[in-house]
A and B are shown apart, each in its own frame.
Chain A
């Protein structure tokens, strides 16, 4: 098996190129001696099977950040046929430093000058031949995003693999030396790159004039967020209703008649357990896709680093920084990648404080619960506002947490962040993102959500002679145990069962409710509306928002912090806070007469 290692500075389009080269078949792999997981894929290049490994983005081969250590350890221990170095063609003045350093490793190398489209627009011209000569490596110009120049670049990789058929280890001596390459860099840039001295005022500058405005920047930010939720809500809910109607019609027209002859317990398991439980979860598929599409647009546009710029002054005072705020935003999708994203922080205090605040981000799994409750209980006209209030709550609690814990986790880490130009994602990219998240969701629905739903059915139906979900069932007894704690915040016994399962994954909550009440979709919503008033419902949502990170998030926190004590704190702190907030809200609202 041949091997290609993909390298480059952060934000050069390395992942974009990797995805285009390898398609969707990438796997997260373990490498001996390397603690973080690397993305790799096996593909056919020419006539050879090749393993392509995507190494983390680095600024310097000799640096000491976690990513730089990973890259160095990989190159020290793993032989490769080819190093492929991705560079942003508009920023060669600084990025050529990396291939200059890599040259000393003595490995065959190919240079990819990416973002050719932007370089053209800016009038940056590169003498590729000069560059190839100076670095002793073929140079290709391409746009990984739009695909121009991609095929020729691929061809060059095939040729180079033919020319270097043997796996080769890097020259060890090169890692020790850290020669000053500044003069070499300056000479190389002036020989091979020409850029207009006076830059025309770019579109990005004009947009930033408003987006980063000292007074309007932050209000604009919140307005944009609100707009995004409006879009998600108004596109997603009709789709959800449609899917719900389809599933309901299928049940009435086919499933119920077909299940006529089965014994009642089996029928109840199949229909009220599996079908209603899973079906209710499945109706969220469209809204989850819309949600991640909006996230993908925001993420790919480059606006996130602007958010970091706007919020850093505030976050700094809370012991965090602008990046922690961005992770908070990423956490709206899913907390797990946001926790992983804190790897860019080097100071451990800063990192832990961020990890403590991220689980308050209202992730897409919690969004499902809220959408269901809000549309069941609140009028459509105020529904988006109720949802927005929960997002504000999520921010507020994260800030409060930082404020309380910042003395325990202090740090002084400098912040250096690139502000890339604004970019629009391609439809191709959006389709891939939608597909990726749909697949993840369906896999979860096919895996642990099925298990959760089956378990809930069992708990609410065993012993089989008791009435389902009554006090005699296992679930009923469990709820009786929790009642002294959960009754003061307005939660009845059946809601508390759903919460217990939500600890595993919040995706299960709605499915669990469907099974508990033996109803799916609309019928469940109507029942909830009849049983709960808005104070109870809001208290339930507050508790669900805050109470504990899901199991996947907790295990990520454990893995990243390497500390059980911290993992315990990450469970106990939100749980106490959740109870306190719900208690204050519920009792407060009741005493005000609501």
Chain B
């Protein structure tokens, strides 16, 4: 168990839980960030900027402090 912000580029994991409010949780779910989905980190922006992640065919950017709220089980 870890959180999304700990993942390095090209690492994959499965979302286990979202520690966010209901409103943000809904928006995340709409974009595919929901428990059970596999997520891959594509790249990190420099200067502690946002991270690019991929869920299915959707690429997203989100900041690392939001990523820290997303629980991940590392994929084998």
Contact = CB atoms under 8 A, between A and B. Distances in A.
Contact of A214 (B35, B37, B45, B66): B45
A366 B20 CA distance: 44
B49 A419 contact: no
Contact of A63 (B27, B36, B44, B52): B27
Given A93-B32, A214-B45, A63 B26 contact: yes
B56 interface: yes
B28 interface: yes
A73 interface: no
A59 B27 contact: yes
A122 B56 CA distance: 12
Given A309-B45, A309-B50, A415 B30 contact: no
A418 B66 contact: no
A308 B61 CA distance: 9
A164 interface: no
Interface in A91-113: 91, 93-94, 97-98
Interface stretch (A20-28, A310-318, A385-393): A310-318
A415 B61 contact: yes
Given A212-B43, A309-B61, A312-B63, A414 B24 contact: yes
A316 B56 contact: no
A416 B66 contact: yes
A98 B44 CA distance: 30
Contact of B66 (A182, A195, A310, A414): A414
B55 interface: yes
Contacts of B62: 414-417
A305 B24 contact: no
Interface string B1-45: 000000000000000000010011011111110111100000111
Interface string A60-71: 101111000000
Given A62-B26, A418-B60, A94 B45 contact: no
B60 A313 contact: no
A279 interface: no
Contacts of A420: 59
Interface string A316-345: 100000100000000000000000000000
A419 B46 CA distance: 17
Interface string A140-163: 000000000000000000000000
A9 B63 contact: no
Interface in A234-283: none
A312 B61 contact: yes
Interface in A447-497: none
Interface residues of B, number: 33
A59 B31 contact: yes
Interface string B45-76: 11111101001111111110010000000000
A414 B31 CA distance: 14
A94 B61 contact: no
A364 interface: no
A316 B34 CA distance: 26
Contacts of A322: 50, 61
A418 B50 contact: no
Nearest to A11: B58
A581 interface: no
Contacts of A182: 34-36
Contact of B30 (A64, A94, A199): A94
B23 A63 contact: yes
A299 B55 CA distance: 24
A124 interface: yes
B35 to A, nearest CB: 8
Contact of B32 (A94, A419, A421): A94
A303 to B, nearest CB: 14
A310 B26 contact: no
A182 B62 CA distance: 22
A429 to B, nearest CB: 23
A12 B43 CA distance: 24
Contact of B49 (A91, A97, A309): A309
Nearest to B33: A416
A309 B52 contact: yes
Most buried by A among B29, B45, B60: B45
A193 to B, nearest CB: 10
A94 B58 contact: yes
B63 A316 contact: yes
A94 B74 CA distance: 21
A65 B36 CA distance: 25
A440 interface: no
Contacts of A98: 30
6 contacts: A63-B30, A93-B57, A199-B57, A214-B43, A214-B44, A310-B45
Interface of B: 20, 23-24, 26-32, 34-37, 43-50, 52, 55-63, 66
The 5 closest A-B pairs by CB, nearest first: A59-B30, A313-B49, A94-B32, A313-B47, A419-B59
Given A91-B56, A94-B58, A316-B49, 11 more contacts: A58-B30, A63-B26, A91-B32, A94-B55, A186-B36, A308-B61, A310-B45, A313-B50, A416-B61, A418-B58, A419-B59
